[in-house]
Amino acid sequence: MRERWGSLVVLVRLTVAASPLLAATELLLVVAMAVSGPLQAYGVARVVNAVSGQGSVTLGAAILFGALAVAFGALVLSDAVRHRLEDGIEIGLQRELLDLATTPPGIAHHEQPEIADRLGAARDEFRRLKGTAGTIGSGLAVLVSTATVLVLLAGIHPLLLMLPLLGLLRLWATASGARQFRHAITATMEYNRRQASLLDIVSDPGHGLEVRAFGVRGLLTDKIAEQFRSQNGPRWQAIRQGKLLEIAARVLFGLAYGGAIVFVLWLARAGRATPGDVVMVLLLAPQTDQAAQRLSDSVRVFIGLLDVAGHIQWLRRYGDEQVAWAGSDEPPTALRSGIELQNVSFAYPGTAHPVLRELNVHLPAGSTVALVGDNGAGKTTVVKLLARLYDPTGGAILVDGTDLRTIDHQAWRHRISAGFQDFVRYEYTAREAIGLGEPTRLHKPSHASSPTAPPARTDDDAGYDVAIDAGDARAVIDRLPDGLDTRLGRRFGGTDLSGGQWQRLALARAFLRERPLLVLLDEPAAALDPESEHALLDRFNAASAATRASGGITLLVSHRLSTVRMADLILVFDNGELTESGSHDELMATGGPYAELFALQASAYQ
């Protein structure tokens, strides 16, 4: 119950935050419409009584037409207000989802199934939350309308109060079915994620060649259908059970409705009710049935809203807990000693097998360090720990003697740069795709002197030139029709690039930040041919020399040993352990695994 109240608070907060004035206006209009319905029936009853000589026709007509005017006017205004309010709620929800995904300083939440399910549920169903104002308003309208009906029916006979109260039975049946359905959705979110993943494979142009070359379209289609059945089987079962309960409740209400009409006719015949009372019951009974239906629908939707809001509430708590591990110290302006990993062990969340075990190594300030080893040896995990995407599960990482966990994670990331094998293809302009490596530069765009003139060169372009040359991306930029201001990617009508060209831009992005303390390059030449890789090495050496000016460390991960031979320190990993370390010449002299692998790779080019 406490969770439900917390979810309700989330819904109210999202609604009020969108626009307090519009939320208050919608509330008043909903109450006005709720009262107007029963008052119309009351006005008709007064008119009927006046015709039979009991009361004033004028008063009854005034009540009737006044209630109609309020109903129609409030309905028109409410639609306009609600649409405007829903737009504000949707904007707020988009920000909320972005915060939920990015607030945790690490990336563990992207790799844990429970969190992925909750994020998926919030993302897939968040649009229903934009109707929060309408759902809350509809439920409130029914409650106000029911209260008004109770007052009017009580004036005829107390037994008639049973009619609206029986509506609660329908409410219970709907709520029970809705809860079963929401439980089914939560239990089948894994199938939903698998289905979405398979749909991405089928629809992504990048996978088109492989899907057709291997002829797996039919297999993927069958797997999508299988996941769809696994997802929807429990959901349809919950829907059927809920509908059976609702049908039984509605039949009982219909019997009570008929009994109420017979009862009030008996009262009128006995002289204990007026003709107007009979007419009012005839009008109010359908309203009560409709109110019960609207309230049932609102409850069904509202339980869904509470469920989605519950995911948001849980994810928000998780994010707040993760932020707690972020330190507050500032990183050093320059490295003097370097970075030391002391007895560092690490196992990914939800797994018992350690990826790194008792790692002890010192990365000297101003050095270029290479990590080599088989897939799964732990190289990329070291990169993630140094970027503080995770904290070690054992041991510590010291930056000039200071535990990395005590340093503010955002301030630390502002002093590092990175280029990855699985880089992002930002389909913006080339200037933006590179400039994201130092976002502050994007606030200083170059401006053309006229709409048709080429962009004017600014002093800031010099920084781009250095990064472009370091990433061996000059040839890519020179071939673009509008240079740095060319839009990239076909999806938005831009210029498409090859995999190697995209990777050169990713490398330029990694070298854009000035005076970084740590440059992380994970397989920077994976998409390049050997000739391009050789050209990259010269520029890479120059970029590493620039990083040394601030004592910065360049960390290079590569399977190509020809790329790492220039490193000051080479670390060889095997199954999560450091097995060899030293310069290229030192490792070759020892004749260990590194020397054997280097000789094997070199023989392929002889």
Q: What is the pLDDT of residues 73-112, one digit of tens each?
A: 887 887 777 777 777 777 777 777 777 666 666 666 666 6
Confidence check: pLDDT of 476 > 50: yes
Least confident of 193-207, 257-271, 465-479, 556-570: 193-207
CB atoms within 10 A of CB 182: 20
Using pLDDT thresholds of 50, 70 and 90, give the confidence band for residue 581. Answer: very high
What percent of the chain is helix, strand and coil (3-state, nearest 5)? 65, 10, 25
Give Cα separations from 525 to 472, 537, 561, 563 (angstroms). 11, 9, 11, 8
Across the strands, what pairs with 407? 329
The pLDDT assigned to 240 comes to 85
Burial class (CB in 10 A: 0-12, 13-18, 19+), 429: buried
Confidence check: pLDDT of 547 > 50: yes
Q: State which amino acid sits at residue 322.
A: Q
Which of 357, 183, 154 is closest to 273 using CA atoms? 154
Q: What is the pLDDT of residues 46-82, one digit of tens each?
A: 888 877 777 777 887 888 888 888 888 887 887 777 7
pTM, 2 dp: 0.61
The pLDDT assigned to 124 comes to 64
Task: State whether residue 339 is helix, strand or coil.
Answer: strand
Whole-number average pLDDT of the chain: 78
Which range among 287-296, 400-409, 595-604 has the greatest average pLDDT?
A: 400-409
Using pLDDT thresholds of 50, 70 and 90, give the confidence band for residue 5. Answer: low
Question: Are 572 and 580 contacting, i.e. CB atoms less than 8 angstroms apart?
Answer: yes
Question: Are 280 and 47 contacting, i.e. CB atoms less than 8 angstroms apart?
Answer: no
The pLDDT assigned to 447 comes to 43
Using pLDDT thresholds of 50, 70 and 90, give the confidence band for residue 304. Answer: low
Q: How many residues does the chain have?
A: 606
Which of residues 233 and 149 earns the better pLDDT score? 233
The pLDDT assigned to 546 comes to 65
Which of 590, 589, 571 is closest to 581 using CA atoms? 571
- Within 8 A by CB and 6+ apart from 307, the residues are 7, 121, 182, 185, 186
Task: State whether residue 342 is helix, strand or coil.
Answer: strand
> What are the phi and psi torsion angles at 95 (to 5°)?
-65, -40
Question: Are 330 and 414 contacting, i.e. CB atoms less than 8 angstroms apart?
Answer: no
Burial class (CB in 10 A: 0-12, 13-18, 19+), 363: buried
Angstrom distance (rounded) from CA 433 to CA 495? 13
Q: What is the pLDDT of residues 408-464, one digit of tens each?
A: 888 898 888 888 777 888 888 999 989 888 887 776 544 443 434 444 445 566 778
Task: State whether residue 518 is helix, strand or coil.
Answer: strand
Using pLDDT thresholds of 50, 70 and 90, give the confidence band for residue 489. Answer: confident
Q: Which helix (H) or strand (E) holds 356?
A: strand 356-364
Per DSSP, helices labelled H in 270-326 are 275-323
Q: Which helix (H) or strand (E) holds 579?
A: strand 577-582
Which of residues 153 and 539 earns the better pLDDT score? 153
Question: Measured in whole angstroms, how far is the alpha carbon of residue 41 from the centre of its chain?
Answer: 48
* Residue given tokens 């609600």 in the structure block: 82
